[in-house]
Structure 1
């Protein structure tokens, strides 16, 4: 049984998620933009084994808590796509300097979340799909049995991530949206900001997904 905690945090209230396999107590943290007392409490009280720190991309608002979590949970594997891995070691690339120089504590990755990478948490398997557009190394993590997707800043409720930042590409975003829209069946989409949504709703109500011709899906 999967349990998901949604914890908005950091300078722009990005969503951090704690994904827990309740049977085993194994867990992953997705996109920790800070290391808040609330996150510490969830990890302390509900998690027996933090296996992964999974990043959907490398922008500061999704990674500022990574190094601090790693200090407390050194066995947790920091996992990021290779194209965004340099964000962990450079605040200019992560855009942390947009907030304050020196705000980011550097840490290196453990594993690369390339296309097809699987993070296994008890009976939960999070599959990686590469979805560039917002950044070169943006990914989504999907759990096919539970029908859950963690979309980072690729897909939001009724909109999509911006593509005007370094490494962004509108054409790459369109191709990524085609992949997401073509996923079989329903998914609950846990987004990088604001509220979660249903993929079926986004196929109908998201103007960017609606622009994709049916024949291209």
Structure 2
């Protein structure tokens, strides 16, 4: 598999394109605000044709790029069902301190249609198998995305696990107890590369060995 990364300006979200080896079709992971220009350059350079978008969760910094991305590529959007409500009014789903920052970003926002994703559900798209693992705690619908091409597997962790850290649980919808359950489930995953919603890539085993939250 090949993983390509571009960054959204607002809160420096990692937005990914993933393709199976030898293919030109791909999937996209997360859609941060104003990611579309960088994503368009990336897909043109690599001659990639997106077939679907998967969102790791519904926080505004991971979804507000959808308007411009979907204007360029009319593809289905997948999101953990428990986070669907967050698309209706994104500015209200973070703490009040973020509201002034989000106001200009949501001025033209219209919630897109999404496909609800449930725990254990799998999709076969662009030569890839994408399996959802429910991982609440950061948000109710936070989802780990296990992606395989049949030979190797990688995991997109969103804001559940970062290199050396984990996601916040003090925002609306956060749940410290649920996060602990999700971290215990994460610890049972195979030792494969992980690609978080922010910051550098890592591996499951590396985080179990060095991340202070495990």
Aligned residue for 1:29?
28
The residue matched to 2:10 in structure 1 has which SS? coil
Aligned residue for 2:201?
196
Alpha-carbon spacing, 1:47–1:89, altered in 2? closer, same or farther (3 Å)? farther
**Contact 1:134 1:161 (C-alpha < 8 Å) held by counterparts:** yes
Aligned residue for 2:184?
178
Q: What CA distance in whole angstroms lies between the structure 2 residues aligned with 1:5 and 1:99?
A: 28
The residue matched to 2:70 in structure 1 has which SS? helix
Aligned residue for 1:100?
102
Task: Report 1:47-126 matches (<5 A).
Answer: 47-74=47-74, 76-95=75-94, 97-104=99-106, 105-126=109-130
Q: How many residues are treated as equivalent by the alignment?
A: 206
Deviation for aligned residue 1:25:
1.6
**Contact 2:79 2:116 (C-alpha < 8 Å) held by counterparts:** yes
TM-score (norm 2): 0.89
Q: What CA distance in whole angstroms lies between the structure 1 residues aligned with 2:36 and 2:52?
A: 18
Aligned residue for 1:141?
145
Alpha-carbon spacing, 1:46–1:121, altered in 2? closer, same or farther (3 Å)? farther
Q: What CA distance in whole angstroms lies between the structure 2 residues aligned with 1:98 and 1:121?
A: 38
Q: Please, which runs of 5 or more residues in structure 1 have no aligned partner?
A: 210-217
Structure 1 runs of 4+ off > 6 angstroms? none
Q: What CA distance in whole angstroms lies between the structure 2 residues aligned with 1:98 and 1:63?
A: 17
RMSD value, Cα: 1.7
Residue among 164, 176, 191 paired with 1:158: 164
**Contact 2:145 2:157 (C-alpha < 8 Å) held by counterparts:** yes
**Contact 1:135 1:168 (C-alpha < 8 Å) held by counterparts:** yes
